[in-house]
Structure 1
Amino acid sequence: MTTGFEGKRVIITGAGKGIGRATALELARRGATVIAMARTESDLNSLAKDAGCTPIQVDLQDGDAARAAMKAAGTCDYLINCAGTNVLESVLEMTDAGYETVMGINLRAALICAQEFARARVAAGGGGVILNVTSIAGHRGFEDHMCYAASKAGLEGATRVMAKELGRHGIRVNAVAPTVTMTELAADAWSDPAKKDPMMARHPIGRFAEVEDVARSIIMLLSDDAPMITGAVLPIDGGFLAV
């Protein structure tokens, strides 16, 4: 079976867990060479065993470390900005530490990685795809998600700027905005049935997303089957935003 990813190199941030890990496994299965970035060494070791990826251990909240990791990865065909975190704080309880953690990983690190990827692609003659993972939290207001929502809405705005500026170099830039997806991070926010059940009832498809649902949509946007899609934000939400 020809998958279209043989000989391609992809950088995935946040590859150790959740959506990033599922995407790494699926792209490796389809023939891509995966450069996996994550903070936790044990996650990277198990992913390297399962997917044969090249691991890079890095704390992306450190901007200098993020730039060094991207340079170590070298020139690649795709970048998937999947690294993300959340600190559950209300508007009245927001802390400077929570803000810096969430914005540093979810937004600043993604912009740094995209910048370094784009610089390398332009130097190599252009082409390539950047895919940013955002959230429906950037479109709807959820309690205790103020900094998270700001980071994801900000990344969607940046996605459109990237698409505008990098299109002349043949670089496509898109985002996916998943609904609640069954990851460790989501479990912390949505484990309470009193919160989970009303949210799930607002999904016409009747369930939350699995990590594999998001991974396959990401791969579709990376592929040559989407040559005219750039500057787009694709909801992966079971119809949540439509109703």
Structure 2
Amino acid sequence: MTKRLDGKVALCTAAGQGIGRKVAEAFLQAGAKVYASDRDAAKLDGLKAFGIVDTAALDVTDSDAVAAYLKRVDTPDILFNCAGFVHHGTVLDCDEDAWDFSFDLNVKAMHRTISALLPRMVEAGGGSIINMASAASSIKAAPNRYVYMATKAAVIGLTRSVAIDFIKSGIRSNAICPGTIESPSLEGRIEELGKSVGGTEKAKTMFIERQPMGRLGTPEEIAHLAVYLASDESRFTTGTTQVIDGGWSL
């Protein structure tokens, strides 16, 4: 049986855990060859059980390292940019270092991969770029997410800009905007919030209660959407913000 991504090459950043890991696994299971990277290469262990994968340690905030890595990979049909960081706090809690780091990891890292790979993808006839944004952006306001929301709104703008500029070159560019998803990142935020609200169970309940469906989303649910955007089934879809948040932004 033909798989949805048979014959395609995908490149995934932050593929060691959480959403990035499940997307890499889903791409492999759908038949793609995957270049999977993460700052901690040990977290990529086990991916080979799912298909043909090339794993590598990569710090996407290091321009030289990114350039060297991308030179050695095959031209991808699919680029999935997942690396990111959630800064907690208002504008008064965000100094210049926090601002610069958040934009470097959440936005400029995508610029690094896209600007390097886009000419090759165009020459090869096109491809799908999928960027991880968030419902907490220009879509939905969330408290204590000042610079995080700013970066994710920027990701949406970046995504749409690439979509309109290269629509006639066979490039599709879409953003995924999740709500609250079970992940190591969320666990860290729950632990931090728990310090001020009376424990991690109370903190987790607060995150669940803001989801109208009464539950958290799963990385697998995000991965299903990513496979669709990566596949030819979505060939008429570009420049979109795909909200998958359990109704949080309603």
In 1, Cα distance between the equivalents of 2:83 and 2:104? Answer: 11
Partners of 1:66 and 1:153 in 2: how far apart?
23
Establish whether residue 134 from structure 1 lines up as the match of residue 133 from structure 2. Answer: yes
Structure 1 partner of 2:89: 89
Cα deviation for residue 85 of structure 1 reads: 1.5
Query: TM-score, structure 2 length as denominator?
Result: 0.90
CA distance in 2, matches of 1:150, 1:72: 33
Q: Distance in 1 between matches of 2:204 and 2:140?
A: 16
Amino acid at match of 2:159: T
TM-score calculated relative to the size of structure 1: 0.92
Tell me the distance in 2 between the aligned counterparts of 1:189 and 1:214. 19
How many Å separate the matches in 2 of 1:234 and 1:48? 29
* Farther-moved stretch of structure 1 (31-40 vs 142-151): 142-151
Matches within 5 A, 1:86-165: 86-124=86-124, 126-138=125-137, 139-165=139-165
1:199, 1:39 → 2: CA distance? 27
C-alpha distance in 2 between matches for 1:100 and 1:72 = 29
Among 221, 238, 242, the residue aligned to 2:246: 238
Q: Which amino acid aligns with 2:130?
A: L
Counterpart amino acid of 1:67? A
User: How many angstroms apart in 1 are the aligned matches of 2:159 and 2:190?
Assistant: 27
- Give 1:132's aligned amino acid: N
Distance 2:52 2:11 in 1: 14
Structure 1 residues 41 and 49, CA gap change in structure 2 (3 angstroms):
farther
Question: Where does residue 203 of structure 1 map in the other structure?
Answer: 211
Deviation by residue 1:173-208 (Cα, 9 ceiling, x = unmatched): 101100111111111223535554344334332211
Identity over the aligned pairs, expressed in percent?
A: 31
Compare 233-242 and 182-191 and name the one that shifted more.
182-191
2:175–2:240 Cα contact (<8 Å) kept: yes
The question of whether the paired residues in 1 share the 8 Å contact of 2:31 and 2:51 is answered with no
SS across alignment from 2:7? coil
Following TM superposition, the consecutive aligned residue runs of length 4 or more in structure 1 with deviations greater than 6 angstroms are none
Structure 2: gaps spanning 5 or more residues: 195-200
C-alpha separation between the residues in 2 aligned to 1:136 and 1:197?
Answer: 19
SS at match of 1:10: strand
Give the aligned partner of residue 76 of structure 1: 76
Match of 2:37 in 1: 37
Q: Determine if contact 1:131/1:176 at 8 Å carries over to the other structure.
A: yes
Superposed CA RMSD: 1.7
Contact 1:16 1:47 in 2 (8 A): no
Once the two structures are TM-superposed, the CA of residue 94 in structure 1 deviates from its matched residue by 1.0
- 2:164 and 2:217 mapped to 1: Cα distance? 30
How far residue 96 of structure 1 moved from its aligned partner, in angstroms, is 2.2
How many residue pairs end up in the alignment? 241
* Contact 2:9/2:74 (8 A) holds in 1: no
The residue type equivalent to 1:36 in the other structure is A
